[in-house]
Amino acid sequence: MLRLREVGTVERRAVGAAALAVGAIGLGCMPMSWGYGASRQDGEESLRAVHSALDHGTTLLDTADMYGPFTNELLLGRVLRERRRDAFIATKCGLLAGEQHIVADGRPAYVKRACDASLRRLQTDRIDLYQLHRVDPEVPVEETWGAMAELVTAGKVRALGLCAVGARGHRRTGAALHDETLRQLARAQQVFPVSSVQAELSVWAPEALDELLPWCTAHGVGFLAAMPLGNGFLTGTLTPGEGFEPDDLRARHPRFTADMMAANQPVVAGLRRVARRHGATPAQVALAWALAQGPTVVPIPGTRSARWPPENAHASGLALTTADLAEIATLPPARGSWD
């Protein structure tokens, strides 16, 4: 049986060049305010989820100014007002959410205004990790990154990160996304150290293992594994054909059609087999798999329910065996893609 760690004793990992220590499992706060069905948003439950995460040793809270927009940072600000010392705040700038579409904005003046606005909403005087949500194709990344570096010098930010997941808005994944990200990273590194990269990594989306994660490992850069539970699919709690609200991002995701969810059930079944051997859940196995990919990896599963943070945090106490990892590696690749 999986032996759950005591409250507050979750494994710690260092994030990148700044060597900032965080709990090995983070908390993705986006579902609380954006992307997963507005009718199911519950501010009070989300507050309980954040407190529960902090209570169980999860320190990294990942948010962004565009989530809501703005409401996600405002929600976290209510927690930070009381528990700033318990939290590691990772927020983002560089994307503007319009009525019809999302656009990038990497202008230096905008970046500085966005940081000040995030500080006000979060009710803090510093951001631990400030991430560029997407590189603006109209602004050289060196200019944007230079403005972000000035925020570190000013004491408003402790470390900088870059997100690869935003490229999904261009309908690119896999090798194309990661090749572009590697070029951007190399250019940014010439200006100021990159402390972290955030990109999708999970059992059913392992593309980052090919080049992106090895680059991070070689350069001492932390890797924030976004969507490590496959937008909820790898938890085994979703029913094929159950459907999603129109404003839920999964309603437009090819892997979440009824047919594709049914076709991908062998992936969940494989996680369940491994989980039974450890007295764990499929979600914990999926998170433990991500942790096993390297000491720089910090999975950031998203949730808006106070039920899940304790289970997620305890996944850091699950040590998968070589046989477990080999079995997971033989699972069929996921069907359905963004392309």
Report the C-alpha gap between 288 and 29 in whole angstroms.
20
Burial class (CB in 10 A: 0-12, 13-18, 19+), 103: middle
Tell me the residue ranges of DSSP E strands in 48-111.
60-62, 88-93, 95-97, 102-104
Q: What is the 3-state secondary structure (H, E, C) of 306-330?
A: CCHHHHHHHHHHCCCCHHHHHHHHC
Q: What is the DSSP string of 151-218?
A: HHHTTSEEEEEEESGGGGGGT--HHHHHHHHHHHHHHHHTTS---EEEEE-BTTB-GGGTTHHHHHHH
Query: Which pair of tokens denotes residue 308?
Result: 């899940």
Phi, psi (degrees; rounded to nearest 5) at 255: -80, -5
**Active-site annotation, residues:** 67
Length of the chain equals 339
Nearest to 52 by CA among 234, 254, 314: 314
What distance in Å separates the CA atoms of residue 73 and residue 66, rounded to the nearest whole number? 9
CB of 133 within 8 A of CB of 151? no
